[in-house]
Structure 1
Amino acid sequence: MGQKKIKSIDLSKEEKKEKRQIAKSGKAQGRLTDVSAQALKKLEAREKLDKEEIKPEKEPKKGKKAKKRKAKKRSKRYEALKAKIDKTKLYPPNEAIELLCSLSNSKMDETVEVHLNLREEKYSGTISFPHGTGKKQRIVIANDLLVEQISQGKINFDVLIASPQMMPKIARVAKILGPKGLVPSPKTNTISEKPEELKKKMEAGTTQIKTEPKAPLIHLRIGKISFGPKKILQNFECLIKTVTPGKIEKVSICSTHSPGIKVNLK
């Protein structure tokens, strides 16, 4: 019988074969994949991208909650006075003023104020109350020194009177005076060729009337509780006649510490 030949195998060649590696793959990393070292790098990069894709999105920041305004707490005295006024009633002027005077039991001499809601905006004018208002207004006449003080923000007056010749200089500080309603104007009767005479008249009881800058509202003092119902009524009637009833939509009267009383002008 013939001899069998034995084949020799070189194991070094097997070692030279590229080693295979086992790695997890897939988003959920739930399966095994046989990959080479080069492919493994690509797989790791892909897994990194997958993780970035499945990151939960950040919740949008919630907006700041608006602060709730607390209702103004009134005193027991105010609430007691409020209970004496019928909110649903429009009082005739004489009744409203008599009621207002009866509500006052404060030690101080309270100021009486009238609040008008007009049908038109930008109303302005002047009025001379028959009994004054109980308050002296600080009335000044424009000059060079005063204009300089105004430019520095120093305003220590309630009414500014000017001659036509001073108006170009006052124009330089109009931005300061304008928002305060203090610019002299023919509408408010605060421009005159004879400012000294005008000042004396205004000091005798002439008061400016003007609506608020952004609303058709007028808030004006018409006297003191110590005037008594009769004088307060005369001042009230003078105001209504000056503004004219046709331009007035609503009117109420109050004192420093009292609730408002609605007045019927019909």
Structure 2
Amino acid sequence: MNKRAPLKFDPTMECMMKMNLDAKFPDQQIRCNIELPHGTGKRIRVAVYCSPDEEEEVLAFGADLAGKTLQDQIAAEKIEFDVLLARPQSMPALAKLGKILGPRRLMPSPKSGTVVSDIKTAVETFKSGKTVELRNSRHGLVALPVGKLSYGKEKLVENFRAALQGLADKKPAGAKQNFWKAVYLGSTMSPSCRIQGSEFPKIKVKNEDDD
């Protein structure tokens, strides 16, 4: 990849996985969080849906947006955050904004770890850039960043392996025996390369002897 991307900025390495899943079935859908040991290298903007009275405290935790400022921006469809957190008791009030947040995949959910009671810990976790949410598209594709090109081979491989193992650990109950169809790696403005079977890290997948 270094030879293929002589760029003046530090590109992000992206992993695209074609999964053997049929997203029409609920038991073949992926929505989970995984942890990358070295993070993605991206700055993550975290917002917290809370009351105006809590805004100052939440911002002190490190959140980028919160309280009435956030509520007004969402209502105006001005989205300036990457992750939205909320406490369970805030979800009924937040539901009215579902038409705005849902299509952008920003609606908080227990599955993605964004509906939480401990806001401080959640803000710190997501701001670290190590937590990545995975979802499969209706075509069975899962895409995620695995770090910056400047990380070097060792760190990128460790992140890549962690991504695969994290996904394998969350294999849906209805997934077929051969979980992956194909895996590709690429960087910003460079071609993607398919990972050959001989180069594929040994990953233990639930209900499979080998992968």
TM range (shorter): 0.7 to 0.9
**Alpha-carbon shift at residue 226 of structure 1 (Å):** 0.5
TM-score when normalising by structure 2: 0.73
* Residue 132 (structure 1) aligned with residue 39 (structure 2): yes
1-structure distance, mates of 2:6, 2:73:
43
* Residue 206 (structure 1) aligned with residue 131 (structure 2): yes
**1:109 counterpart letter in structure 2:** D
Q: Percent identity?
A: 32
2-structure distance, mates of 1:220, 1:167:
27
Contact 1:147 1:173 in 2 (8 A): no
RMSD over aligned CA atoms reads: 1.6
Runs of 4+ in structure 1 deviating by more than 4 angstroms, as ranges, are none
Q: Structure 2: which 5+ residue stretches go unaligned? A: 24-28, 52-67, 172-177, 201-210
After superposition, the C-alpha distances for 1:146-196 in whole angstroms (9 at most, x for unaligned) are: 234312212111110100011001100011111111111111111111112
1-structure distance, mates of 2:93, 2:152:
44
2-structure distance, mates of 1:104, 1:154:
33
* Residue 229 (structure 1) aligned with residue 153 (structure 2): yes
2-structure distance, mates of 1:105, 1:248:
31
- 1:116: which partner in 2? 17
2-structure distance, mates of 1:101, 1:209:
26
Correspondent of 2:106 among 182, 186, 209: 182
- 1:92: which partner in 2? none
Contact 2:45 2:82 in 1 (8 A): yes
2-structure distance, mates of 1:164, 1:209:
21
2-structure distance, mates of 1:207, 1:249:
21
User: Max radius of gyration: which structure?
Assistant: 1
Between 1 and 2, higher relative CO (CA 8 Å, sep ≥ 6) is seen in 2
Q: Structure 1: which 5+ residue stretches go unaligned? A: 1-99
* Number of matched pairs: 166
Correspondent of 2:165 among 211, 225, 241: 241
TM-score when normalising by structure 1: 0.59
Contact 1:142 1:166 in 2 (8 A): yes
* Residue 171 (structure 1) aligned with residue 92 (structure 2): no
After superposition, the C-alpha distances for 1:42-91 in whole angstroms (9 at most, x for unaligned) are: xxxxxxxxxxxxxxxxxxxxxxxxxxxxxxxxxxxxxxxxxxxxxxxxxx
Correspondent of 2:8 among 88, 107, 111: 107
2-structure distance, mates of 1:102, 1:241:
28
**Alpha-carbon shift at residue 248 of structure 1 (Å):** 2.0
